[in-house]
Structure 1
C-alpha cells in the first residue's frame, strides 16, 4: 500500500501552553455515536485543543457523520486537528487510484454505505483528508497515527512509516528522540489506553472490536472512555478462561 499524498505531508508544531487542555483521541472508525458521547464528556471549549489522531472512517456505520461533525466543530471555532491515518490513506487511494479491494476488506464498504451516494460531500471530505497533517509536534509529546521509525530522528521520518508502522516501532526503544510518542493504529484489545513505556502512549482502544473509544488529556493525564455493550461480549469471546 503506497501513501497517496506523501509529498504533501506536513508536521504541525504547536505550544501546549497556548491551550487550557490538550485532548487526543484516535481510531473512532465510523462510530459517530461514541464520538458524540465522548465529546459530551470532554466538553470542549475554544481554549482547548482536540487532536483526532487518524482513522475516523471505515468499519463503523457513520464515517460520513464523523467528518461532517468535525467540520462543523471547526466552523464553530473549536481547535481541532485531524492527523492522517492509514484508513484515510486507504480511502483516498481507493477513490482516486482505484485500490478498492484492500479498502473494502478493511471496512471501506461501510464507509461507502454511509455516504448514500452524496458524492459532492464525499469529494469535500476527500479534500479535507488530503490536507491533514501527518503528525502534531507538541514539544514534549509527538502525536502521530502509526508511530515512528525508532532508528531515525523525527526530521528524517518517512510519511508511510509514520502512518502504517507497528511492531518495529512498538517493540524497540527510541534511539533518536526524547519525545513521548502518542499513537493509535495498533488496537489495545482490552479497550484501554496503555502507557507502553516511558516514551510510548497507545490510545487505540479497538473501537470496531471492543466497542470502546478513549481520550487522554496530556496536561493532566486524565483519561475518559465511552463504550457500548460490545466490550463484554468481545472479552468473553476472546479472553474467557480455558
Structure 2
C-alpha cells in the first residue's frame, strides 16, 4: 500500500483527475488530502462531489484548509467576508449559484467532517498549514492555526541548514515529528514548482491555485506526479491570479 499526499486543489477538478490517473492510484492506496479543495478555479462544487464519491471506493483522509472553513461558513449562513471574496471566494460563490440546497447540505456535512491534522503510526504529521505550540498539535491553544499558520514554514525556510537537531537554536517544533507534510503556502513564492523539503517539513502546495500544477506524492519514495499547469487546464479563467 502506498501513502499518497495531495496538495491544495482550489477548484481544479481537471488537475485532480490528471494526478490520480498519472500516479495510477488504486483502491489499495491511502490518499491524504492536505486541504483547500475550493476557491480559485470554477469547479469547487464538482471537486467536493468528486471527493465525497471517492471516499466510497478509496481509503481517504481529508485535512481542513482555511478556504474550506471559509466556504463552509458561507454555505451555512451566507456570511459576508470581503477578504475571502477577494481571495478565491468569488469563484465559489459564482459556482454555487447553480447548486441545489440538497447538494449544498452534502457539501456542508463533508466540510464539517474534515480533520485538523492526522498523525500516522510512524510519527508523520499531516496538516494544512502549521502549528505554533512548542509541545505540538495536541497542545495548540488556537486550533484554527492548524489551517492558517505560516510561521512553521517560514521558520523552516529561514533555518540555518548547518544546524544539527541538537543545536540550542534548533526549533523544538521540528523535533516532535519524524516528518511534517503541509500545503497552504505555495512553493511558487520561492520560485519552485515541485514539492520542497526544508528540515523535516515537506511543502506539497505547488501553486495550483495560481500558475502551478497540482501534485500528488508518495511519502515513502518521494516520487511525485503532477498535473498540467492549471491555467492551461482552465484557459478562460484566472484562478486566484
* 1:68 pairs with 2:49: yes
Report if the CA contact (8 A) 1:134-1:163 is conserved.
Answer: yes
| Partner of residue 125, structure 1 | 107
Quick one: distance in 2 between partners of 1:170 and 1:79?
A: 32
- Ranges of 4+ aligned residues in structure 1 off by more than 4 Å: none
Whether the aligned pair in 2 keeps the contact of 1:82 and 1:132 (CA below 8 Å) is yes
> What does 1:207-226 align with in structure 2 at a 5 Å threshold?
207-226=208-227
Aligned to 1:175: 172
Work out which of the residue numbers 198, 205, 212 in structure 2 matches 1:196. 198
1:227 is aligned to 228
User: Which segments of 5 or more consecutive residues in structure 1 lack a partner in the other structure?
Assistant: 1-19, 232-242
Matches within 5 A, 1:10-25: 20-25=1-6
Instruction: Report which stretch shifted further, 150-159 or 77-86.
Output: 150-159
1:100 maps to 2:77: no
Greater displacement, 125-134 / 152-161: 152-161
**CA distance, structure 2, for counterparts of residue 36 and residue 227 of structure 1:** 11
Per-residue deviation at 1:188?
1.0
- Identify if the C-alpha distance between structure 1 residues 127 and 106 changes in structure 2 by more than 3 Å, giving closer, same or farther: same
Following TM superposition, by how much is the alpha carbon of 1:105 offset from its aligned partner in structure 2, in angstroms? 1.3
Q: CA deviation at 1:85?
A: 0.3
- Indicate conservation of the 8 Å contact 2:12/2:230, yes or no: no
Q: Is the 8 A contact 2:52 2:110 kept in 1?
A: no
Q: Name the structure 2 match of 1:154.
A: 137
Are the equivalent residues in 1 in contact too, given 2:179–2:202 (CA < 8 A)?
yes
Return closer, same or farther for 1:130/1:193 CA change in 2, 3 Å cut-off. Answer: same
- State the TM-score, normalized to the length of structure 2: 0.81
Residue aligning to 2:123: 140
Work out which of the residue numbers 59, 64, 73 in structure 2 matches 1:84.
64
Pairs within 5 Å for 1:14-53: 20-53=1-34
Contact 2:132 2:151 in 1 (8 A): no
* Deviation of the 1:229 alpha carbon: 7.2
Q: Which runs of 5+ in 2 are unaligned?
A: 157-169, 233-241
Alpha-carbon contact 1:191-1:213 (below 8 Å) kept: no
Taking the aligned partners of 2:66 and 2:137, their CA distance within structure 1 comes to 19
Per the TM alignment, residue 51 of structure 1 is displaced from its structure 2 partner at its CA by 0.8
Indicate how the Cα distance of structure 1 residues 79 and 103 shifts in structure 2: closer, same or farther if over 3 A, else same.
Answer: same
Give the alignment's TM-score, normalised by structure 1.
0.80
Higher RCO, Cα 8 Å, sep 6+ = 2
